[in-house]
Chain A
Amino acid sequence: MTHPLLNIHKLRIAFRTHTKQTDALKGISLHINSDERVALVGESGSGKSVTARAVLGLLQQQRGIEIGGRIEFEGQDVALLKDSERRQMRGTKISMIFQDPVSSLNPVFRIETEFLEVLRRTNPKVTLPAAREQAEEMLRKVSIDDPHRVLRSFPFQLSGGMNQRVMIALALINAPSLLIADEPGTALDVTVQDQTLRLMRRLVEDHRAAVLLISHNLGVVREFSDRIYVIYRGRIVEEGPTGAVFADPIHPYTRALLAAVPRITKSGIPKLVDDISQFTEPCEIHPARA
């Protein structure tokens, strides 16, 4: 069997301040194969985004952060790479889509400048006209009809949905093998978010990119991903193919999450079991699922 594209093994991350230590991840393991779409689902503060940043190698160079366990990308232990080698990997082999497209694009750059900068990550000699041409083609793929105008615009002149599509185009233009999407479009309204996800799904299929989708929204995840990991308080509490998890959620937290997907009923948001220890200890993964 070949290596999975991304293999995370017992990853632990702790943030240390002068007074205390906070464990963000308590040893999670997950893997993503090439061409696979995997979702990491959990509530705020469960460790989703930290996982994404660790994969990108953004945490490794920061002070006060302890990282244990292993992250392997394309069979290579990321921790063994030098800072510069990790940097080399970002934007070329792994790229990331962020939550808030409007504030994630630099306010003083035209969109074409962003594309030029990103394209130069793989080909430093690319000229502005060549970059424009590639960018226009990519923008058409994300259903932008007037790429020329968009390229000449600044982010604040475009709508949130437009900016989101620009972000997706930027993330995919270098044909990365792994795309990390951290709650894409959560900052936008639901219809735009839905459009975005459909678009992303189509494009990752075309580009044969694997995706790690990070979300708190199970509805989104159900439509998008092949497999699901449910993360709670820094631990993976349930994993499995999307269909199976939805059909028969075993862990109480997963059930609570599923029940929290808004439906038009009178019941409101369901309560989580009060006694957390019931499902975090002693086993992270329910025996029936493991």
Chain B
Amino acid sequence: MTSVGRLLTARLGISILVLLGVSMLIFAIARVIPGDPARIALGPNATHEQVDKLRADLHLNEPIWKQYGYFLHDLSQGELGQSLYTNRPVTTDIAQFLPATLELIIVAGVLMIGLGLPLGILAAKHQGGTIDNLVRIIALLGVSAPSFVWAVILMLLFAFYLPLFPIAGRIAVEFDVPTITGFLLVDTLLDGQIAAFVDALRHIALPAFALALSGIGQAARLTRANMAETYHSPYIEMARSYGFPEWRIARRYAFKPSLTPSLTIIGLDFAAMLGNAFLVEAIFAWPGLSRYGVAVILRKDLNAIVGTVLIISAAFLIANLVVDLLIALINPRIRYSRGRV
């Protein structure tokens, strides 16, 4: 697997450059938008002297490249500065809020892969059949309305009119779960609290599904289209001419070559989910990073904005890296194309 190792190193190097670029961009943008962070943080009753002092503390009076220098210096020590909104280090805030968002996105991703791919395969095998039409409907519903609309609809249907799921939050208040990883689904199990685990699962079901819906539809449609195309390829005909059973042809001969485009779109959907999570989290009162991000942007909390965006970019890059690696593992052509990444 040396070729995969090479690919990994090259991609990691590029990812670091991308993150650096993102940090510069967001650093500049955060400072260009109007409003004085010091004034917002201190409120309308603060004196001019107090505001000026805070501005000086934040190096806001210095040129922007110098400010970026301070930022890089902090970053090299693993610090992202102090948040004016929570009065805590940004890293502490992120450590608190990130797991909730990641948990939501990972569960949505599992739903997307676990439902999208099998639906696509079934639709391709029974073209024009019930499942095929169902996939078409899901895909259409998923892309025709954004996730936050589905979040509201799902909430109304399955938490309000038909109270199958809790309406908001991550877990019921009566459960006391120690924070080990920050992922409630993991922590409850580590602590042996099965009831709490089930409750957390019930809480995450609706927001995760709302987030995953468009991805499920897209992944299914794409898988269906690729499988259908692969079924017309000469190597499937050859497999048939050698008398392999149909299920074996579907599983072994058609699925693997058709998977690459689906994986690519799944990677992109992961990224899209990070963005969509902002509104879904707001609707379901999900205490995640996206809600934190909205709050700090509204308050022009510079350090927190840069920190949040950086972390989200990093998550995005990691998701893409994982997808690229998976594609390389599946597709020998990519694995053996040296130098190209």
A87 partner residues in chain B, CB cutoff 8 A: 243, 245
Kindly state whether residue B244 has any CB partner on chain A within 8 Å. yes
Question: By the criterion CB–CB under 8 Å, are B253 and A106 in contact?
Answer: yes
* A89-B235 contact in complex given A107-B333, A108-B257, A108-B332, C-beta closer than 8 Å: no
Q: Does A15 contact B (CB under 8 A)?
A: no
A134 at the interface (CB under 8 A from B): no
> A150 at the A/B interface (Cβ < 8 Å)?
no
Q: Which of A107-141 contact B (CB under 8 A)?
A: 107-108, 110, 117-118, 121
The 7 closest A-B pairs by CB, nearest first: A90-B243, A91-B242, A91-B243, A104-B234, A96-B241, A106-B235, A87-B243
Contacting B240 at CB < 8 Å: which of A58, A89, A100, A103? A58
CB-based contact A154/B243 at 8 Å: no
Q: How far is the CA of A70 from the CA of B241 in the complex (A)?
A: 20
Q: Which chain A positions have C-beta within 8 A of B242?
A: 90-91, 95, 117-118, 121
Q: How far is the CB of B249 from chain A (nearest CB, A)?
A: 10
Tell me if B's interface is mostly helix, strand, loop or mixed.
Answer: helix
- Cβ-based interface call for B140 (8 A): no
CA distance A91 to B241 in the complex (A): 7
- Please tell me if the beta carbons of B241 and A56 are within 8 angstroms of each other in the complex: yes
Report B175 CB to chain A, min CB distance, Å: 47
Give Cα A89–Cα B63 distance, bound, in whole angstroms.
Answer: 80
Does the CB pair B243–A106 fall under 8 Å? no
CA distance A106 to B330 in the complex (A): 13
Inter-chain contact B331/A108, CB cutoff 8 Å: yes
B contact set with A: CB distance below 8 Å = 233-235, 237-245, 253, 256-257, 330-333, 336
B331 touches A89 (CB 8 A): no
Q: Looking at the assembled complex, report how far the CB atom of B217 sits from the nearest CB atom of chain A, in whole angstroms.
A: 26
Q: Which residue of A lies closest to B256 (CB)?
A: A108
Closest partner residue, chain B, to A56 (CB atom): B241
Q: Give the Cβ gap from B38 to chain A, nearest Cβ, in Å.
A: 59
Task: Please provide the chain A residues from 74 to 103 with a CB less than 8 Å away from any CB of chain B in the complex.
Answer: 87-92, 95-96, 98-100, 103
Give A147 Cβ to nearest chain B Cβ, in Å. Answer: 19
The reply to whether the CB of A157 lies closer than 8 angstroms to some CB of chain B is yes
Q: Which of B238, B330, B332 contacts A154 (CB 8 A)?
A: B332
Q: A90-B243, A118-B242, A154-B332 are in contact. Are A100 and B257 (CB under 8 A)?
A: no
9 other A-B residue contacts (CB within 8 Å) besides A104-B238, A106-B239, A110-B332: A89-B243, A98-B234, A98-B237, A105-B238, A106-B253, A108-B331, A121-B244, A154-B332, A156-B332
Q: A89 to B242, alpha carbons, bound, how many Å?
A: 9
Q: Smallest CB-CB separation from B238: which chain A residue? A: A104
- In the complex, chain A residues whose CB is within 8 Å of the CB of B245: 87
What are the residues of chain A within 8 A of B233 when measuring CB–CB? 103
Whether A154 pairs with B235 at a CB distance below 8 angstroms is no
Mind listing 9 A-B residue pairs with CB under 8 Å? A58-B237, A58-B240, A58-B241, A88-B243, A95-B242, A99-B234, A106-B239, A106-B257, A121-B242
> Is the beta-carbon distance between A154 and B241 smaller than 8 angstroms?
no
Q: Which residues of chain B are within 8 angstroms of A92 by Cβ–Cβ distance? A: 243
* Distance (whole angstroms) from the CB of A180 to the closest CB of chain B: 8
Interface-central residue, B237, B239, B242, B336, by most chain A CB under 10 Å: B242
A88 and B257 alpha carbons, distance in the complex (Å): 25
What is the minimal beta-carbon distance from B238 to any residue of chain A, in angstroms?
5
Q: How far is the CB of B95 from chain A (nearest CB, A)?
A: 41
Q: Nearest Cβ in chain B — how far from A138, in angstroms?
A: 15
Q: What B residues does A105 contact at CB under 8 A?
A: 235, 238
Nearest Cβ in chain A — how far from B4, in angstroms?
A: 15
Q: Is the CB–CB distance between B239 and A154 below 8 Å?
A: no
Q: Which residues of A contact B235 (CB under 8 A)?
A: 103-107
Q: Which chain A positions have C-beta within 8 A of B243? A: 87-92, 121
The CA of A108 and the CA of B254, in the complex, are separated in Å by 10
Residues of B with C-beta under 8 A to A121: 242-244
- B-chain residues with CB within 8 Å of residue A96 when the two chains form the complex: 238, 241
- A156 contacts B333, C-beta separation under 8 Å: yes
Neighbouring A residues of B234 by C-beta, 8 Å: 98-100, 103-104
Cα separation A117 to B235 with both chains bound (whole Å): 13
Closest to B241 in A: A96
CA gap between A125 and B244 in the complex, in Å: 15
Please indicate the chain B residues that have their CB under 8 angstroms from the CB of A107 in the complex: 235, 257, 331-333
Q: Find the residue from A88, A89, A91, A110 having the highest chain B CB count within 10 A.
A: A91
Q: How far is the CB of A70 from chain B (nearest CB, A)?
A: 21
Closest Cβ of chain A to B189, distance in Å, is 36
Alpha-carbon distance A106/B336, docked complex (angstroms): 16
Chain B nearest CB from A61 CB (Å) reads: 9
Report the separation of the CA atoms of residues A30 and B338 in the bound assembly, to the nearest whole angstrom.
52
Q: How far is the CA of A108 from the CA of B330 in the complex (A)?
A: 7
A176 to B245 Cα, complex, angstroms: 19
Residues of B within 8 Å of A103, CB to CB, are 233-235
| Distance in Å: Cβ of A107 to nearest Cβ of chain B | 6
* CB–CB A95/B241 < 8 A: yes
Q: Min CB distance, B311 to chain A, in Å? A: 36
Given A58-B241, A100-B234, A104-B238, check contact A157 B330 (CB 8 Å).
Answer: no
Residues of B within 8 A of A108 (CB): 256-257, 330-332
Cβ-closest chain B residue relative to A155: B235
Q: Which residues of B contact A118 (CB under 8 A)?
A: 242
B257 cross-chain contacts in A, Cβ below 8 A? 106-108
